[in-house]
Structure 1
């Protein structure tokens, strides 16, 4: 990671109280040895979240969101330390105003960190809200002492701007951290930075899988459909495990590998636009949602004395030749092609010798 600029400011706000911007803070020396590690910790903490929402600036109302113009001005300038401080100061002003809105009365303050950095081939702006936590340290006499430290692992709110994607004109270049709280309090970060068109990662993942099935069905790819879905889900799972976002161009390439020869000219390169249409609204880039992936790929059920957990692709009706066949009339499941070790385990259990 190459850290270009860093600004740290502080917002004072208690629940139901007005927000006050502290005079403390400002630009931070990026050459200090601990500073890059701090930003990397924040970036990793955001990557671990599965409740990210993705979207873009609200360009229809730029006057209502001053940060949008300030962001564009910053990118068009020298991007000096003073330029970044100007951008950050405007950002924190907008945050304070958003936190003071009636719907965000429960929001509380903390340290606001603005970081401009390069990571591999992408350039980012990260804005994070963190707070102190109590910890125990030992003094010179080895006596326990309570100290306050910044909790970098627990982000309260965060926004990440993919500057590289923005410059390339991609549809999705903003990521925001969601919460389990209800109400507009969860949206003050996105509102402050002019992003109102956001899609939860859970919805994006589910809509993409739905679009995958529908595209195959509408284009007569019946024989290829389940394999395409499996490959797309595998891609999403891999991106999620590697803490990377998923993007439609790469998924489109997966599709193109499965298109029958007679349909190559007709539908090659068209899935991205199909999934990004008004019906599905899958962003060009989004964070895969783990639980949604599991829900679409696995079947879990249990009764009083048993439970099952298997991949949905293994299930079929009687006579389908699937590893697991369902007989609706008899209300039974038949397991086929069981591994020899499972067969032996069942035999030992029936014989009363199941100690191992």
Structure 2
């Protein structure tokens, strides 16, 4: 990762106050300083560990009324220099102070706002994070314990990360932001100030969740349980949709826990929630299931006197299509293609008998 710009500012507000103010302290930080790089690395790592990210984009409703969005567009329109970066930070601080002063954020407190402009792999990012300090213990020159104040970087209270590269490409989802882990309880003042909106299409979130389910099974040697796990995930999504409820990633972890042996779960280093919430899949902590996408994964079950069928709708297609199971309306018959070797052997053995 290459750090391009770094700035630290301070928002002042106690929980019993109604007005947030911007401190005169802080400003640009020399990115060549060793501690600047360490701060940046720790911050990005802490953000990457969060498994309750909401993915989305800037609000599409009158985006020009959001000063941060307007200034962000100006910031990325050319090759931003230090002055452009600090101007963007100033606008963000003004919006954060205004949002933090709203009635809905009355219980919220201020903190240190860290702005990072950096590149990783082939992407450019802007990360804005609110952190607070905590009391720590250190030794003085005589090895006597003394109190120090240190940043609590492991506990990001609010943060938003914008993928500048994908934003320029015009994709649907190019930002993520942190909310709380309790269902339906996301603190909005931070994301509102930056114009963030949870607008990842329900179709995309649903299909990516199922794709992540299949990939997670393959990654963790759960292929023999994959079909059952996908069925449970689809069943959960169907239930939430029928009850007009959101789907939640922590519920997915509970589904996987029913299928993963305890010894394998203890040795695992990643939960499904964090896997699906990652940059590759971008499934939000909370999202609305998409009906037609769910229907594509539901099963067709049929039974006669001496046979029964049980397969996913997405496996079915018309005659001469690429689907594994094809329906021939002329003969009212099914053609099953690409049979696994094990099934072929069973069929041949049955015929030999």
TM-score, normalisation: structure 1? 0.60
Q: Is the 8 A contact 1:53 1:198 kept in 2?
A: no
1:62 aligns with 2:63: yes
Aligned-residue offset at 1:78: 3.0
Return the alpha-carbon distance in structure 1 between the equivalents of residues 128 and 37 of structure 2.
Answer: 15
Return the alpha-carbon distance in structure 2 between the equivalents of residues 45 and 115 of structure 1.
Answer: 14
Return the alpha-carbon distance in structure 2 between the equivalents of residues 62 and 77 of structure 1.
Answer: 20
Q: Deviations over 1:92-130 (max 9, x none)?
A: 110111111111101100100000000111110000011
What is the aligned length?
A: 241
Query: Secondary structure in 2 aligned to 1:137?
Result: strand
1:27 aligns with 2:7: no
Superposed CA RMSD: 3.5
For residues 249-268 of structure 1, what are the structure 2 equivalents within 5 Å?
none
Match of 2:146 in 1: 145
1:116 aligns with 2:117: yes
Return the alpha-carbon distance in structure 1 between the equivalents of residues 95 and 217 of structure 2.
Answer: 36
Q: Is the 8 A contact 1:107 1:185 kept in 2?
A: no
Return the alpha-carbon distance in structure 2 between the equivalents of residues 177 and 59 of structure 1.
Answer: 20
Match of 1:193 in 2: 194
Cα 1:131–1:205 change in 2 (3 A) is farther
Query: Secondary structure in 2 aligned to 1:34?
Result: helix
Q: Is the 8 A contact 1:20 1:96 kept in 2?
A: yes
Return the alpha-carbon distance in structure 2 between the equivalents of residues 239 and 10 of structure 1.
Answer: 43
Match of 1:207 in 2: 206
Return the alpha-carbon distance in structure 2 between the equivalents of residues 69 and 85 of structure 1.
Answer: 15
For residues 1-356 of structure 1, what are the structure 2 equivalents within 5 Å?
1-17=1-17, 18-180=19-181, 186-198=187-199, 207-208=206-207, 232-236=212-216, 291-297=250-256, 299=258
Query: Secondary structure in 1 aligned to 2:177?
Result: strand
Unpaired segments ≥5 residues, structure 2: 221-240, 242-246, 266-306, 309-353
TM-score, normalisation: structure 2? 0.61
Q: Is the 8 A contact 1:133 1:151 kept in 2?
A: yes
Task: After superposing the two structures, state which structure 1 stretch, 30-39 or 78-87, moved more.
Answer: 30-39
Return the alpha-carbon distance in structure 2 between the equivalents of residues 13 and 238 of structure 1.
Answer: 48
Cα 1:293–1:185 change in 2 (3 A) is closer
Q: Is the 8 A contact 1:117 1:124 kept in 2?
A: yes
Return the alpha-carbon distance in structure 1 between the equivalents of residues 172 and 214 of structure 2.
Answer: 24
Unpaired segments ≥5 residues, structure 1: 213-228, 241-278, 280-287, 302-308, 310-318, 321-356
Match of 1:329 in 2: none
Cα 1:182–1:65 change in 2 (3 A) is farther
Q: Is the 8 A contact 2:7 2:27 kept in 1?
A: yes
